[in-house]
């Protein structure tokens, strides 16, 4: 696999994969995820023979860049919930055009972990630019998620969801609702896309566990079922 880094429209980006991919995979990249990026790409390559390129773009502020609306349980800063549209515009107007200049216009799979997974799923409700969504342990405990999802169907063809089997068994009541939210989202996806085009995988453990493996599994499923 080839690895490189570059700056695209003011954000640092890391790219790993084949010179002749069939899919472009895009993920959010917080500072805490940089050490996992290469490993994630290697795990995807080990799970599929289909060539791909994985591109990760810098997230300046994890909460501000990826939270679609304000929720005090996530962050009390009043500006949280105002910058997610800007992040999505960066992906569609800056990152993808740069990648397509190099690799061609290919199906795009958007993914992420935690708030990155929330951002990916929310983005698929805003635009049809993404063919599939790889949402690993997404933070669907954000308030009013299912109310929003019921009136904003996804525009992607495939969606992968996963969750750790201990994630809903926490003392924080806001976070504990993630299990019901993810189950509810799966039922919406089944109705929207058909059961064969979505899945929910339960992983052993809590939220802060096997992030690279969970995200790689999400991307791999999307590639293999496209």
pLDDT tens digit sequence for 176-224:
999 999 999 999 999 999 999 999 999 999 999 999 999 999 999 999 9
Residue 87 to residue 89: CA distance in whole angstroms: 5
Helical H segments across 104-196, by residue range: 115-124, 145-151, 173-176, 178-193
Contacts of 104 (CB under 8 A, 6+ apart): none
pLDDT in tens, 108-142: 999 999 999 999 999 999 999 999 999 999 999 99
pLDDT at residue 128, rounded to an integer = 98
pLDDT of residue 76 exceeding 90, the answer is no
Q: Tell me how far CA of residue 126 lies from CA of 31, 122, 153, in angstroms.
A: 26, 7, 9
Burial of 94 (0-12, 13-18, 19+ CB in 10 A): middle
Residue 226 to residue 215: CA distance in whole angstroms: 17
pLDDT in tens, 26-60: 999 988 888 899 999 999 999 999 999 999 999 99
CATH of the domain at 78: 3.40.50.1820
Q: pLDDT grade, residue 75 (50/70/90)?
A: confident
Beta strand pairing call for 52-58 and 11-17: antiparallel
State how many domains the chain has. Answer: 1
Residue 54 to residue 18: CA distance in whole angstroms: 9
Is-contact 134 174, C-beta < 8 A?
no
Domain that holds residue 55: 2-225
Cα dihedral across residues 12, 67, 119, 151: positive or negative: negative
Q: Tell me how far CA of residue 29 lies from CA of 83, 117, 150, in angstroms.
A: 16, 11, 28
Residue 32 to residue 12: CA distance in whole angstroms: 14
């Amino acid at each position: 696999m080839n690895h490189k880094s570059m700056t695209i429209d003011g954000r640092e980006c890391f790219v790993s994969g084949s010179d002749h991919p069939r899919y472009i995979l895009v993920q959010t990249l917080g500072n805490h995820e940089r050490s996992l990026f290469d490993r994630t790409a290697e795990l995807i390559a080990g799970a599929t023979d289909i060539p791909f390129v994985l591109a990760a773009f810098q997230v300046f502020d994890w909460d501000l860049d990826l939270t679609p609306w304000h929720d005090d349980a996530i962050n009390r800063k009043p500006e949280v919930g105002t910058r997610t549209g800007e992040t999505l515009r960066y992906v569609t107007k800056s990152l993808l055009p740069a990648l397509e200049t190099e690799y061609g216009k290919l199906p795009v799979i958007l993914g992420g972990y935690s708030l990155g997974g929330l951002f990916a799923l929310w983005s698929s409700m805003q635009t049809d630019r993404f063919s599939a969504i790889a949402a690993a342990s997404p933070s669907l405990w954000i308030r009013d998620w299912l109310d929003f999802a019921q009136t904003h169907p996804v525009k992607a063809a495939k969606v992968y969801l996963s969750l750790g089997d201990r994630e809903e068994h926490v003392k924080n009541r806001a976070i504990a609702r993630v299990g019901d939210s993810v189950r509810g989202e799966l039922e919406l996806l089944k109705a929207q896309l058909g059961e064969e085009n979505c899945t929910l995988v339960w992983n052993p453990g809590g939220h802060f566990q096997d992030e690279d493996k969970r995200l790689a599994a999400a991307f791999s499923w999307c590639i293999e079922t496209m």
